[in-house]
Structure 1
Amino acid sequence: MLANDHVDVDVACGEIHALMGENGAGKSTLMSILYGLRQPDAGTIVLHGAPVTFASPAQAIDAGVGMVQQEFALFPQLTVAENVVFGREPTRRGLLSRKAAVLAVAELISRHDLRLRPGDRVADLPVGARQQVEILKLLYRQADVLILDEPTAVLTPAETERLFGVLRGLAASGRTVLFVSHKLQEVLAVSDHVTVMRDGRVSAHGATGSFTPASLASAMVGREVDLDRAYPRGTPGAPVLELPELTVRSGEIVGIAGVAGNGQNALVSRIRKVAHVPEERGEVGSASQASLADNLAVGFHRRKPLVRGGFLRPSKIRKHARSIVARFDVRGSIEQPMGTLSGGNQQKAILGRELTHGAALLVVEQPTRGVDVGAIENIHAHLIVYRDAGHGILLVSAELSEILALSDRILVMYEGRISAEFSRAEADPERIGLAMAGGAP
Structure 2
Amino acid sequence: PQEIEELFGVLEELTAQEKTIIFITHKLDEAMRAADEITVLRDGQRVGTVDAGATTRKGLAELMVGREVLLDIDRPSIKTGGVVASVSDLVVDDDRGIQTVDTVDFEVCAGEILGIAGVDGNGQSELIEAITGLRAPEAGTVRLLGDNVTDSSRRQRIEAGMAYIPEDRQDRGVVMDFDLVGNALLGSQHSSEFRSSGRVNWDETREHAKTIINEYDVRTPSADTSAASLSGGNQQKFIVGREFERDPEFVVASNPTRGVDVGSVEFIHERLLELREAGVAILLVSSKLREVQELSDRLAVMYEGEFIDLVDPTTTTESELGLLMAGQQPDNAGGDKRESEPDLTEDPTDVTTDGERA
TM (norm. structure 2) is: 0.73
Q: Is the 8 A contact 2:176 2:228 kept in 1?
A: yes
1:355 to partner: Cα distance:
0.8
Select 1:221's aligned residue among 49, 65, 73: 65
- Do the aligned partners of 1:251 and 1:390 also contact (CA within 8 Å) in 2? yes
Cα distance in 1 between the residues matched to 2:9 and 2:176? 34
Which whole-Å deviations, capped at 9, do the CAs of 1:365-401 have from their partners, x for residues lacking one?
0011111111111000000011111110000000111
* 1:307 maps to which of 177, 195, 212: 195
8 Å contact 2:108–2:114 — kept in the other structure? yes
Matched, 1:276 2:276: no
Match of 1:21 in 2: none
Who is 2:342 aligned against? none
> Which 4+ runs in 1 deviate beyond 4 A?
157-177
Mapped contact 1:234–1:408 kept (Cα < 8 A):
no
TM-superposition CA deviations, 1:204-228 (whole Å, max 9, x none): 2233223111110111223322222
- Aligned letter for 2:38? V
**2:255 corresponds to which residue?**
366
Question: Which residue pairs with 2:218 in the alignment?
Answer: 330
Match of 1:212 in 2: 56
Deviates more, 1:373-382 or 1:191-200: 191-200
Counterpart of 1:283 in 2: which secondary structure? helix
SS at match of 1:393: strand
Mean CA deviation greater in 161-170 or 286-295? 161-170
8 Å Cα contact 2:233-2:260 kept in structure 1: yes
Deviation for aligned residue 1:425: 4.9
Deviates more, 1:286-295 or 1:394-403: 286-295
SS at match of 2:283: strand
Distance 1:252 1:265 in 2: 21
Task: Tell me what 1:261 maps to.
Answer: 121
- Note the C-alpha offset of 1:199: 4.7
Match of 2:285 in 1: 396
Aligned ranges for residues 316-355 of structure 1 at < 5 Å? 316-332=204-220, 333-355=222-244
Aligned pairs (5 A) from 1:88-103? none
Query: For each residue in 1:95-135, what CA deviation from the matched residue of structure 2 results, as whole angstroms up to 9, or x when unmatched?
Result: xxxxxxxxxxxxxxxxxxxxxxxxxxxxxxxxxxxxxxxxx
1:251 aligns to what? 111
Seen in structure 2, the aligned counterparts of structure 1 residues 174 and 432 have a Cα distance that, compared at 3 Å, is closer
SS of equivalent residue, structure 2 residue 177: coil
5+ residue gaps, structure 1: 1-156
**Pick aligned residue for 1:383 from 272, 280, 300:** 272
Give distance in 2, aligned partners of 1:161 and 1:296: 41
Change (3 A) 1:338 1:390: same
Superposed displacement of residue 428, structure 1: 3.2
What amino acid is the match of 2:172? V
1:286 aligns with 2:174: yes
Q: CA deviation at 1:311?
A: 1.2
1:73 aligned residue = none
Root-mean-square deviation (CA), in Å?
A: 2.2
8 A contact 1:258–1:398 mirrored in 2: yes
Q: Which residue identity is paired with 2:205?
A: I
Distance 1:405 1:311 in 2: 44
Q: Deviations over 1:219-269 (max 9, x none)?
A: 122332222233113421111111221100111000001111111122212
Partner amino acid for 2:174?
S
Mark the CA change 1:431 to 1:192 in structure 2 (over 3 Å): closer, same or farther.
closer
3-state SS of 1:410 partner: strand
Distance change >3 Å, CA 348–CA 178, structure 1 → 2: same
8 Å CA contact 2:2–2:322 kept in 1: the answer is no
Q: Structure 1 length normalisation: TM-score?
A: 0.60
SS in 2 for 1:295: helix
Return the letter of the residue paired with 1:217.
Answer: A
Letter in 2 for 1:206: V
1:430 aligns with 2:319: yes
Inter-partner Cα distance in structure 1 for 2:4 and 2:226: 31
